[in-house]
Amino acid sequence: MTFVPLKNQLKFSFLITETLEFNSYSLIKPPAQGWSNELNKIISRYLSIGTIIAIILNPIFGLVDYMALHESWQQFMVIRVLVSLILVGCLLYKPLMQERPQLAGMVILCSIITQDAYFYSFATPEIIQQLSLSYMADFVGASMVLMWSPVYAIVFTIYFVLANLFFYSSNSSMPLQDFLSDGGLLVLAGTIFSMAMVVFRYHSVKTMIISKIELIKNNDWMAVQNEIIEQKSAELQKSNNRLKEFAYIVSHDLKAPFARCAEYCFVDT
């Protein structure tokens, strides 16, 4: 009787183990990373466009100063030109605009708000509503181009309140109640609303970028999984072929012993 060699038995055991092997690491999905760089690019792009528009429009708004505060419009125009030069400097300083666009937006908007808070402190009951609408235009533009995290929005709101209180106490002759009721509260409400819009846009764009990155990484992950599946299928096919070879060897080796047994049984009978 011919027995299966130990070498073939070990080979058979290895094939069974190889067939049942499972790569658990391949099921780990990669986390979404790298969204901050992409978000900064988008914030920088919108901020650059908004800054260019502000540089052009800021001196043009000097016409409002000329019509509302004719006696001081030349002084105000000088301030507007200086603020526009600050905006040009921020726009040209690429490390700030590209690497820290939220901080750049803070510097730009605080410069404009400091300017307008100073102008607004000279308001009289006759022109305060006109100046309030001009003031509100800053926040309409800011809500369209800025994207800030809540921390930046809160810091700016605090700065806005402090700057306006400082210039009001230094220059205004209007009673505080009249100053607030005739336009100050409207400007404050516009500031809070625009900051809410800025934060909402920030989180919306951030969510969109993270979803896009996750989709790309999931597609890459699925491609890797397909390659692993194809590799495992090929390995299983090889294992099946080896099992067939092993079964053929075993059946062939057992034919002679069974034939002799049958022959002995037949002779005995």
Q: What is the pLDDT of residues 69-91, one digit of tens each?
A: 777 888 889 999 999 999 999 99
Specify the DSSP class assigned to residue 25. Answer: G
State pTM to two decimals: 0.69
| Average confidence score pLDDT of the chain | 81
For residue 167, give the nearest of 179, 156, 177 by alpha carbon: 179
User: pLDDT confidence of 197, banded at 50, 70, 90?
Assistant: very high
pLDDT of 118: 93
Amino acid in the structure at residue 143: S
pLDDT of 27: 40
pLDDT of 252: 62
Q: What is the pLDDT of residues 86-140, one digit of tens each?
A: 999 999 998 999 899 999 999 999 999 999 999 999 988 888 888 888 888 889 8
**Are 109 and 73 spatial neighbours (Cβ–Cβ below 8 Å)?**
no
The count of other CB atoms within 10 Å of the CB of residue 217 is 16
pLDDT of 106: 95
For residue 179, give the nearest of 192, 163, 165, 195 by alpha carbon: 165
pLDDT of 260: 62
The count of other CB atoms within 10 Å of the CB of residue 190 is 20
- DSSP letters, 85-136, are HHHHHHHH-HIIIII-HHHHHHHHHHHHHHHHHHHHTT--TTTHHHHHHHHH
196-202 long-range Cβ contacts below 8 angstroms, 24+ apart: 196/153, 197/143, 198/142, 198/143, 198/146, 198/147, 198/148, 198/153, 199/148, 199/149, 199/150, 199/153, 201/143, 201/146, 201/147, 202/43, 202/147, 202/148, 202/149
Task: Give the residue carrying structure tokens 């030069």.
Answer: 85
**15, two tokens:** 């094939």
- Whether the pLDDT of residue 266 is over 60: the answer is no
- Maximum average pLDDT range among 157-161, 182-186, 244-248: 157-161
Determine the average pLDDT of the residues in 53-62.
Answer: 88
Specify the DSSP class assigned to residue 61. Answer: T
Higher pLDDT, 221 or 29: 221
